[in-house]
């Protein structure tokens, strides 16, 4: 079972499951989850090979979707997934639709992407953890990560006391083709689905819409202006308002 953080008590509204992206964790979503938990219970998970969840030899989307189904159990949830988590949520919806009421996919499409995040794994692996006594020591060694926000994001997965990354870097590197890809699936999810993108992001393009509609015929599309791929971190209040309005519609 994945490690999870529960916010708020059950209400008459369906619980909301939040699924983070690559190198993320449930803790990254604490503030947003607490705000959304004002009207419904919110469950944020650490995905396999991330955070406090178990490490496995695989990190494919069928496995990740099965993990989410186990967390959800017999009570259908609304599911919100960002990036890798959005792909896992889509695979869950396509293969086990009875587990979902509504689906929100944040800034990702059901397609294979040409980029890789292996360079970030290499940067984390190059940190001499024996010389780290505080997070800033590791930050100073992440020279190959020029973007300060990306560096800060990666450092959230550093356990300074244990001098270890809470990420299974070996498996994530080996499984990167699966993570940036998307499996061939014949199913369709007929339920409500919102594809919420950052207005300044190019992850969800007009060319992807036919593929999205083929798999999610009820899909709706929305954008948060001036937000990039990390739309929930860059525009958290706008993100929360959009999610709440959609779930309560």
Q: Which residues are identified as catalytic?
A: 83, 170, 229
Residue 205, classified by CB atoms within 10 Å of its CB into exposed (0-12), middle (13-18) or buried (19+), is exposed
DSSP string for 60-88: -HHHHHHHHHHHHTTS-EEEEEETHHHHH
Separation between Cα atoms, residue 65 and residue 90, nearest integer Å? 8
Element (H, E) at 159: strand 158-159
Of 21, 66, 4, 1, the residue nearest 167 (C-alpha): 21
Determine the Cα–Cα distance for residues 3 and 231; give it in Å rounded to an integer: 24
Tokens 């938990």, residue located: 37
Given a contact cutoff of 8 angstroms between Cβ atoms, the answer to whether 67 and 44 are in contact is no
* Integer Cα distance of 127 and 139 in angstroms: 9
């Amino acid at each position: 079972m994945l490690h999870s953080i529960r916010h708020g008590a059950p209400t008459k509204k369906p619980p909301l499951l939040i699924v983070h992206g690559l190198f993320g964790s449930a803790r990254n979503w604490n503030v947003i989850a607490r705000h959304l938990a004002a009207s419904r219970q919110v469950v944020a998970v650490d995905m396999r090979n991330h955070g406090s969840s178990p490490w496995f030899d695989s990190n494919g989307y069928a496995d990740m979707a099965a993990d989410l189904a186990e967390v959800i159990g017999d009570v259908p949830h609304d599911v919100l997934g960002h990036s890798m988590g959005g792909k896992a949520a889509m695979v869950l919806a396509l293969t086990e639709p009875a587990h979902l009421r509504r689906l929100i996919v944040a800034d990702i499409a059901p397609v294979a992407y040409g980029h890789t995040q292996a360079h970030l794994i290499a940067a984390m692996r190059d940190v001499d953890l024996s010389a780290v006594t505080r997070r800033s020591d590791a930050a100073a060694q992440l020279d190959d990560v020029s973007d300060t926000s990306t560096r800060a994001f990666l450092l959230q997965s550093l356990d300074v006391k244990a001098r270890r990354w809470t990420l299974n870097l070996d498996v994530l590197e080996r499984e990167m083709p699966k993570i940036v890809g998307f499996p061939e699936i014949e199913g369709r999810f007929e339920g409500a689905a919102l594809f919420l993108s950052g207005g300044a992001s190019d992850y969800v393009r007009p060319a992807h819409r036919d593929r999205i509609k083929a798999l999610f015929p009820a899909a709706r599309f929305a954008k948060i202006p001036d937000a990039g791929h990390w739309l929930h971190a860059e525009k958290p209040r706008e993100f929360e308002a959009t999610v709440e309005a959609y779930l309560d519609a």
